[in-house]
Amino acid sequence: MIQLFHVTKIYQDSDAPALSDVSLSVEKSEFVFLTGPSGAGKTTLLRLLYGADVCTRGQILMAGRNLQNASRDVVTQVRRDVGVVFQDFKLIATRTVFDNVGLALEVRGLRRVEVETRVKAVLNEVGLIHRAHAMPRRLSGGEQQRVALARALVSNPRILICDEPTGNLDHALSLEVMGILEKAAMRGAAVVCATHDEGLLRQHKHRVLALDRGRLVSDRRGAFDRAADLVSG
């Protein structure tokens, strides 16, 4: 579902690469944690995956589409296969919860009835149907994160990319969000979840990719003790 071949990203204002020669692949239904210290290149990698940036060298295939030198239309198509969850939620302040979630379907040109049915279903799933007509500023951090999650899930994406989705949440809410992400993986989505949270890595036995100074330094499956151990190899 996701394939990276020798991907390097060097930003214009920097000499050191943000990502250096990273190759990996993530299959359908696979749940992958992406970890590493701050500045390791996690966010850069995620930005490359949803087409917000272009890699300097290498190739990225997302659901069979090559993102290198892709036209704007191709990037748009790729984004319709990808759901993205940000740590800062990125909700539109002037839209209700319902409209924020529905936006992901609206851009695909779905009929109003279908949008309504699917938005209600996903809001039910994340436990926010009772807040459907609330504005984002009226919600708690946990609720806003679940709205962002609902927006990413509502289109049944083939790939789900999450940048520190539990970063602003307490433990109980983090577990809830993880449960929703794991369900998405079980339904067939490839999930890439960047996190610093060692507790999450310990509790959820998934494949873990560790980045350090732009390099992929570890690719392990299952249990481990400390994320720091992964980074050290």
Question: What residue ranges bind another protein (CB under 8 A)?
Answer: 50, 52, 72-73, 76-77, 79-80, 82, 84, 90-92, 94-95, 103-104, 106-108, 112, 151, 155
Task: Specify the residue, 104 or 208, whose C-beta has the smaller distance to another protein.
Answer: 104
Which distant-in-sequence residues (6+ apart) come within 8 Å of 216 by Cβ? 22, 23, 24, 209, 210
Q: How far is the CB of 77 from another protein (least distance, A)?
A: 8
Q: How far is the CB of 225 from another protein (least distance, A)?
A: 35
Task: Specify the residue, 92 or 228, whose C-beta has the smaller distance to another protein.
Answer: 92
Task: Specify the residue, 114 or 219, whose C-beta has the smaller distance to another protein.
Answer: 114
- How far apart CA 32 and CA 12 sit, in angstroms, is 29
Task: Specify the residue, 128 or 210, whose C-beta has the smaller distance to another protein.
Answer: 128
- How far apart CA 31 and CA 19 sit, in angstroms, is 21
Task: Specify the residue, 31 or 86, whose C-beta has the smaller distance to another protein.
Answer: 86
SS (H, E, C) 43-101: HHHHHHHCCCCCCCEEEEEECCEECCCCCHHHHHHHHHHEEEECCCCCCCCCCCHHHHH
Q: How far is the CB of 90 from another protein (least distance, A)?
A: 5
**Terminal CA-CA length for the chain:** 26
Q: How far is the CB of 52 from another protein (least distance, A)?
A: 7
Amino acid identity at 209: L
Q: How far is the CB of 37 from another protein (least distance, A)?
A: 26
DSSP state of 181: H
